[in-house]
Amino acid sequence: MSKDLRNYKLVIWRQASPQEKGGFEQYQVDGISPDTSFLEMLDILNDRLIKQNIRPIEFDSDCREGICGACGCLVNGQAHGPRQKATTCQIYMRSFENGDTITVEPWRAKAFPVIRDLVVDRSSFDRIISAGGYISVKSAKHADANAMLIPKPDADQAFDYATCIGCGACVAACPNASASLFTGAKISQFTLMPQGRVEREKRVERMVDQMDREGFGGCTNIGECEASCPKGISISAIATMKAEYLKAALSGRTESNASDGAM
Amino acid sequence: MLTVRKALTSTVGRKFIMGASGLLLVGFLFVHIATNLLLYAKTGESFNAAVARLWSLGSLVYLLELGLAALFASHIVVAITLKRGHREARPDSYRMSVSKGTVHNNPASRNMAVTGIILLVFLILHILQFRFGPGISEGYSVVINGKTERDLYRVVTEAFKNPIYVALYVAVMLFLGSHLRHGFWSAFQSLGVLAPRISKVIYALGFCLAFVLAAAFLFIPIWIYFDLGAGL
Ligand code: HEM
Ligand code: FES
């Protein structure tokens, strides 16, 4: 075992319920190995809190290997902490010096209300997806997977956009709490593929509509979303969304009521 | 349907208006500086002649002014509604907020509303001072081709004998440069025409354009105050 054990002062947002006001609390965590992950460090702290009869700190996590998008909080003012292209579960205590004060806050957005401590409600993302983030497929006989030819660059680009895990870091990092990178990535991934072209105009109309209805802010092209995205998704996705929107508006092939659920 | 109304009121649609009006305003600035470069001449003859030529268009000038006013109005009104939306989208602010490193997150981009408001206040003052400033009836007249015209050159040069105006104009032009440093590139991104390949090129072009425009306007008051044209 490593002899290099470190001590940290944690300043963490505590809020028992959506209704409660909440505030920052300080905790001392000692004897942490630098190879401990950030979330394991919180687990260790929670064990001690439970023994002291203090309500443990609530936070989301599932895969703990950067693929599910469940985890996420602001660590020292940065979405998912100090490492680029990493999720909160992928940061380790070696990123912090012995004796550091670490401030931990939940994602902040009107469309991401705090449920408890560091856990926020991201169902607004689900509603943007259900508004138009799908394609129509033939459900009869299983088709040959390679029957439809797709240019390699398009497939690669679509795949880059499809790596979005929906963690919400883009919203958290954006000074306007905009969901443009998320929505743009989801729209772009379908638009680049022939299978996604059928609902093209309706999709962008409905998804942008839903994004606005959820109360996310607009995009001012700051680029902090791209820098904070654990998958490094480019803001070109946002430009694509805007171009799609313009094309849809000019084509006239859209629907009047995007909330009726039928396409 | 994605009606025109909805297309122009969504967050995406309103940024189309911001981007389009912003770029058209940049176009206006080029027309504006083209005339104003004549202020660097040794005498006011060419400048006053250019102004007289513009006014010889008659009522068309008022139409152009109206169009320009509409451009400014749409840019500003939409900016205000967007800004309000951004504020409402994050009711509780962070205790700590640190950039994760992107060239586009800089003082220019974060303060578009601030530099915009400075430009708006300046604009009002600027129009009152020159467009509605002293004219022929106050004795500011010259004869060009046998016709009595307004001596706008004298109005401008007298204003810039006042160091306070010189300092004010220089400062505001720095803010204009800052606004365009982010704004030019941002407009293309908002209009959805930026492929990653050309994004860097447009951002660099935006810097050059902001620098050149701001510098060209900025040196006019300095030039006049120190009478640098006299040595030509
Ligand atoms: C000389 C005059 C002006 C020019 C050439 C100009 C140009 C631009 C351009 C090109 C943009 C980028 C648009 C985009 O991101 O899509 C922009 C954004 C902006 N302008 Fe102006 N502008 C001018 C005056 C003003 C004034 C007077 C105001 C305000 C009161 C203003 C407020 C803003 C704001 C707040 C933004 C940012 C919008 C956003 O990022 O969402 N501008 N401007
Ligand atoms: S827990 Fe799955 S990405 Fe972090």
Distances (CA, A) of A136 to A197, B37, B38, B174: 10, 60, 63, 53
The minimum CA-CA distance between B84 and chain A, rounded to whole Å, is 9
Position A255 scores a pLDDT of: 61
**Residue A215 contacts B, CB cutoff 8 Å:** yes
If you measure CA to CA, which chain A residue comes closest to B195? A236
User: Hunting for tokens 């409600």 — which residue is that?
Assistant: A121
Q: Shortest CB distance from A76 goes to which of B98, B104, B109?
A: B98
- B18 CA distance to ligand 1 centroid (A)? 7
Q: What are phi and psi of A7, to 5 degrees?
A: -120, 140
What distance in Å separates the CA atoms of residue B25 and residue B47, rounded to the nearest whole number? 22
Question: Does position A258 have pLDDT exceeding 60, yes or no?
Answer: no
Task: Output the pLDDT for position A261.
Answer: 41
A contacts of B90 (beta carbons < 8 Å): 108-110, 175-177, 217
Cα A128 to Cα A109: distance, rounded to the nearest angstrom: 15
Model pTM? 0.93
User: Is residue A105 classed exposed, middle or buried when 0-12, 13-18 and 19+ CB atoms within 10 A define those classes?
Assistant: buried
* C-alpha distance from residue B16 to each of A85, A219, B41, B188, B197 (Å): 30, 11, 39, 9, 21
Question: How much is the pLDDT for B37?
Answer: 97
CA distance B183 to B23: 9
CA B179 to ligand 1 centroid distance, Å: 7
Q: How confident is the model at residue A142 (pLDDT cuts 50, 70, 90)?
A: confident
* pLDDT over threshold 80, residue A89: yes
Return the axis-axis angle of helices B163-190 and B196-225, rounded to nearest 10°: 170
pLDDT at B3 (0 to 100)? 72
CA gap A103, A60 in Å, rounded: 17
Residue-by-residue pLDDT tens, chain B, 232 positions: 567 777 788 999 999 999 999 999 999 999 999 999 999 998 999 999 999 999 999 999 999 999 999 999 999 999 999 999 999 999 999 999 999 999 999 999 999 999 999 999 999 999 999 999 999 999 999 999 999 999 999 999 999 999 999 999 999 999 999 999 999 999 999 999 988 889 999 999 999 999 999 999 999 999 999 998 877 6
Rounded Cα distance between A87 and A99, Å, is 23
> In sequence order, what are the residues at sequence separation of 6 or more whose Cβ sits closer than 8 angstroms to the Cβ of residue A168?
A69, A72, A107, A109, A112, A120, A122, A125, A182
Look at residue A202 and tell me whether its pLDDT is greater than 50. Answer: yes
Domain annotation for chain A: domains and CATH numbers? 6-115 (3.10.20.30), 123-260 (1.10.1060.10)
Amino acid at residue number A195? Q
* Residue B197: per-residue pLDDT: 86
Q: Sort B129 into a burial class: Cβ within 10 Å, 0-12 / 13-18 / 19+.
A: middle
Mean predicted confidence (pLDDT) in A239-256: 84
Best mutation site among A105, A222, A233, A235 for testing chain B: the one with the most B CBs within 10 Å?
A222
HEC readout, B26-39: HHHHHHHHHHHHHH
**Residue A19: exposed, middle, or buried by beta-carbon count in 10 A (0-12, 13-18, 19+)?**
exposed
Residues counted in chain A = 263
The minimum CA-CA distance between B177 and chain A, rounded to whole Å, is 17
Pair of tokens at residue B146: 């046998």
Q: Please return the burial class of A68, using the count of CB atoms within 10 Å of its CB with bins 0-12, 13-18 and 19+.
A: middle
Task: Report how far apart the first and last C-alpha atoms of chain A are (Å, whole number).
Answer: 59
Supply φ then ψ for residue A120, to 5 degrees.
Answer: -120, 160
pLDDT exceeds 50 at position A203 = yes
What count of other Cβ atoms lies within 10 Å of the Cβ of residue B199? 18
Between β-strands A74-75 and A101-105, what pairing exists: parallel, antiparallel or unpaired? Answer: antiparallel
**Per-residue confidence band for A77, with pLDDT thresholds at 50, 70 and 90:** very high
Protein residue closest via CA to atom 3 of ligand 2: A66
Which pair of tokens denotes residue A168? 């919400």
Q: Complex ipTM, two decimals? A: 0.92
